[in-house]
Structure 1
Amino acid sequence: MIGTILLHEIVGTAILLLLGGGSVANNILARTKGFGGGWLMVNFGWGLAVFAGVYTAYKTGGHLNPAVTLGIIAHGASEFAPGIAVNVANTAAYLVAQLIGAMIGAFLCWMVYKNHFDAETDPGKILGVFSTGPEIRNPLWNLITETIATFVLVFIVLVFGQTPSGLGPLAVALLVVVIGICLGGPTGYAINPARDLGPRIIHAILPIPNKGGSDWGYAWVPIVGPILGGVIAGVAASLYI
Structure 2
Amino acid sequence: MELQNRREFGKKMLGTTLNYFLLESLFTSQAFASSVRPVATHWAKQLTEICNDLKLQKIPPVLWQQQVEKLFNQIELPELLKFIDFETLTRGFDYPDLGVNTRMVKFPKLDGLPEKTVFIRKIFGMKKGRAIIPHGHSNMSSAHLVLKGEFALKHYDKVAEEDKYLLIKPTIEKTAGVGSSSSVSDEKNNIHWFIANTETAFTFDVIMVDLGGKAYDIHNIDIAAGEKAGNGLIRAAKLDVETALKKYGKQHH
Coarse TM-score class (shorter-chain normalised): 0.3 to 0.5
Please identify the structure whose Cα radius of gyration is greater: 2
Q: TM-score, normalised by structure 1?
A: 0.32
Q: Greater share of helix residues, 1 or 2? A: 1
Q: Greater share of strand residues, 1 or 2? A: 2
